[in-house]
Amino acid sequence: MDFACNFAEMLKNDLLLRAAKGLEVERSPVWLMRQAGRILPEYRATRAKAKNFIEFVKTPELACEVTIQPVDILGVDAAIIFSDILVIPEAMGLPYQMIEAKGPWFENTIKSKADIDKLKIAEAGDLDYVMKALALTKKELNDRVPLIGFAGAPWTLFAYMIEGSGSKTFSKAKQFLYTQPELSHMLLEKITQSTINYLKGQVKAGADILQLFDSWAGVLSEKMFYEFSLKYISKICDALSPLVPVTVFAKDAHYAIAKIAETSCNSIGLDWTIDPATARKFSANKTLQGNADPCLLYADDKKIIEETHAMLKAFGKQRYICNLGHGLYPDIDKEKVKLFVNVVKEYKW
Amino acid sequence: MDFACNFAEMLKNDLLLRAAKGLEVERSPVWLMRQAGRILPEYRATRAKAKNFIEFVKTPELACEVTIQPVDILGVDAAIIFSDILVIPEAMGLPYQMIEAKGPWFENTIKSKADIDKLKIAEAGDLDYVMKALALTKKELNDRVPLIGFAGAPWTLFAYMIEGSGSKTFSKAKQFLYTQPELSHMLLEKITQSTINYLKGQVKAGADILQLFDSWAGVLSEKMFYEFSLKYISKICDALSPLVPVTVFAKDAHYAIAKIAETSCNSIGLDWTIDPATARKFSANKTLQGNADPCLLYADDKKIIEETHAMLKAFGKQRYICNLGHGLYPDIDKEKVKLFVNVVKEYKW
């Protein structure tokens, strides 16, 4: 069953889906990573209703509320479900905490085969709160714009499950890859299966398009990225892209664009260190998404307009989804974000 | 006066200088970033003699001791003077502290033109303790191997001076670039002049070759890297490369290799995300340095040998300096580092 097609037919604004599928668009769609976030006072007000981050993520009504806010307030062309990539490790049996101003922290980490054997392969039903949030959001959105579902890429989830927290180098996680390649593949396979189940559930619950975030791709060498990351991303794309379009965003994996383009993904997310023309050259058959420097939104209006225009010209109207090259920083002025969105929407092609 | 030439003539092992200058070598030289560091118990013993990191850096006898240790213990082909890139901000009037397990921290940061006006342009004499450490080390080394001097690249020093500490995104420093481009250039120019004075002093005091570390190049877009970083790196290369060979290591600036090759530097440092063949293509006229993943040294001996051989083959014997793609991690086993060094030294070309 082609869920996306059915949903897309009903959408009032399906620019994002058309762009992702390589169909013609009248203008490029625009949304922003972390648009449902601290830049909005409305988000902070909703956030205050939950006693902590995990409870916030697990309350479908609150997740739905903050997912829709940027559509109403910023005028973006898509909603992305509010959640966290670490819900998968938790559903597999490895719970985490979100420490204020520090980030995620796991009391238990994976050290041995026994630890991996103990993990379960998550089913969509284990993440019922995400499915409820998606279904509720889909209903509340009333088909105004597409709803984006997402998951962390297996390597990035693996990195947190071994390291136990964020890290500049993820040297413990990489040490595991270098010293325990077989166990690494065993764990990555379990994460991959869980992620496929999870994303299929997201599509059933209402996601029109999916994005995989490989936030820590950049700490790997090219060879290790192919062996321990892209292999599993590719499996997920194969399982999901027949259902809905899939975007792969492997941050800082500048060397891998051509190989990502060989997967069955529909679009490729780019950070701001990637030249649009170079990316086009290596991935002629894919849609590109990105890639403004989030810090551009600190600049004055003139600079924001100039640089956004230059980016739009460099990528071209078709097969392009306008976004930042990373998530919005929390201290960015909401008015600057609105300006960025409007500049894209009003651009005269 | 050609200092390098005079010193090089006297050196028993001048492989590094010949490789950097593009002269023929019988084998590739090898040294490691952070070889004078916590991986050596001998370093930790010397470190314990100083009451804190800053005092350690400022005591020439101790700096000399740890600079020579890796030559004796690891058998590397060069010594790199033990110091810190943040001695330049300090000499300009912005002192820092090194917080255990956290990294550098500045009580005062640069916020305005008045703050920049107050900074002095450092002279070599303001960093007399570094000059003394170099002179002492040069004498103690007894011409066994070349002595490497170094400095932080202007953008990286600027980033700390604005941000006040390490950061994943350096968003405050980048905000300054986006909102205060003129003041940014003013500050970068002052740092550049200070760095030129400092490095000229290092050459006089005994440095045979110099390296510029642009540790935070990777947070900049290509365009901003050229405007706010490479422009100043280029000035420093022009001032120093007539005296001794200069290596530029701009970490994560994968997009900039061809432009770095247009400066008057002699060699280019590469991190482990860069393919050797691609780097050669973009910089045929330069020596390349790098680029093993530091985490490789967690692997078993067989893997270390295999990967090091593959790297040596990929770069080729000439115009190549073997190194890691970043500094040694402190928990790496000294025996693995010795193995890496020996594999390079014993490789049959």
Task: Give this prediction's pTM.
Answer: 0.96
Judged by CB atoms closer than 8 Å, whether chains meet at B179 and A299 is answered as yes
Q: Which of A175, A176, A221, A297 should be substituted to probe chain B, the one whose Cβ sees the most B Cβ atoms within 10 Å?
A: A221
User: Residue A160 catalytic?
Assistant: yes
Q: How far apart are CA A15 and CA A26, in angstroms?
A: 8
B282 in A contact zone (CB under 8 Å):
no
Cα Rg of chain B, angstroms: 19
Residue B48 confidence (pLDDT): 97
Interval B63-115: pLDDT, tens: 999 999 999 999 999 999 999 999 999 999 999 999 988 899 999 999 999 99
Judged by CB atoms closer than 8 Å, whether chains meet at A273 and B329 is answered as no
* Mean of pLDDT over chain B: 96
pLDDT band at residue B1 under the 50/70/90 scheme:
very low
Residue A182, classified by CB atoms within 10 Å of its CB into exposed (0-12), middle (13-18) or buried (19+), is exposed
Residue B8 confidence (pLDDT): 52
Residue B314 has phi, psi (to 5 degrees) of: -65, -40
Residue B267 has phi, psi (to 5 degrees) of: -140, 160
Which residue in the set A179, A273, A293 is minimally distant from B254, CB to CB? A273
pLDDT band at residue B4 under the 50/70/90 scheme:
very low
SS3 A11: coil
Q: Digits of tens for pLDDT over chain A (349 positions)? A: 444 445 455 899 999 999 999 999 999 999 999 999 999 999 999 999 999 999 999 999 999 999 999 999 999 999 999 999 999 999 999 999 999 888 999 999 999 999 999 999 999 999 999 999 999 999 999 999 999 999 999 999 999 999 999 999 999 999 999 999 999 999 999 999 999 999 999 999 999 999 999 999 999 999 999 999 999 999 999 999 999 999 999 999 999 999 999 999 999 999 999 999 999 999 989 999 999 999 999 999 999 999 999 999 999 999 999 999 999 999 999 999 999 999 999 999 8
Considering only alpha carbons, which residue of chain A is nearest residue B173? A295
Neighbouring CB atoms inside 10 A of A106's CB total 19
Residue A349 confidence (pLDDT): 87
Place of tokens 């790496």: B332
- Are B33 and B330 spatial neighbours (Cβ–Cβ below 8 Å)? no
Interval B24-33: pLDDT, tens: 999 999 999 9
User: Residue A319 catalytic?
Assistant: no
Amino acid symbol at A173: A
Closest to A338 (Cα-Cα) out of A153, A148, A76? A76
Whether residue B2 has pLDDT greater than 80: no
Which residue in the set A221, A255, A272 is minimally distant from B293, CB to CB? A221
B171 Cα to chain A: minimum distance (Å) = 6
Considering only alpha carbons, which residue of chain A is nearest residue B219? A273
Instruction: Return the DSSP state at A179.
Output: H
Residue A109 confidence (pLDDT): 98
Q: How far apart are CA A191 and CA A194, in angstroms?
A: 5
User: Residue A18 catalytic?
Assistant: no
Q: Name the helix (H) or strand (E) containing A215.
A: none
Catalytic pick among A38, A255, A298, A329: A38
Average pLDDT, integer, range B128-141: 98
Please report, for chain B, the start and end positions of each structural domain, with discontinuous segments joined by +: 7-346
SS3 B129: helix
Q: How far apart are CA B258 and CA A287, in angstroms?
A: 27
* Chain A residues in contact with B329 (beta carbon < 8 A): 169, 171
The pair of structure tokens assigned to A276 is 């649009």
Q: How far apart are CA A20 and CA A15, in angstroms?
A: 8
- Are B29 and B322 spatial neighbours (Cβ–Cβ below 8 Å)? yes
Q: How far apart are CA B210 and CA A144, in angstroms?
A: 59
Neighbouring CB atoms inside 10 A of A171's CB total 20
B224 in A contact zone (CB under 8 Å):
yes
- Are B317 and B27 spatial neighbours (Cβ–Cβ below 8 Å)? yes
B329 in A contact zone (CB under 8 Å):
yes
Residue A20 confidence (pLDDT): 98
Q: How far apart are CA A180 and CA B167, in angstroms?
A: 31
Task: Report the topology of domain B7-346.
Answer: TIM Barrel (3.20.20)
Interval B246-290: pLDDT, tens: 999 999 999 999 999 999 999 999 999 999 999 999 998 999 999
| Residue ranges of A 169-208 with Cβ closer than 8 A to chain B | 169, 171, 174-175, 177-179
Amino acid symbol at A213: F
Closest to A254 (Cα-Cα) out of B124, B271, B171? B271
pLDDT band at residue B9 under the 50/70/90 scheme:
low
A339 in B contact zone (CB under 8 Å):
no
Residues 6 or more apart in contact with residue B268 via CB below 8 angstroms? B247, B248, B249, B257, B260, B261, B279, B283, B286, B287, B288, B289
* Chain B residues in contact with A298 (beta carbon < 8 A): 171, 174-175, 178-179
Which residue in the set B224, B253, B299 is minimally distant from A179, CB to CB? B299
Whether residue B141 has pLDDT greater than 60: yes
Residue A17 confidence (pLDDT): 98
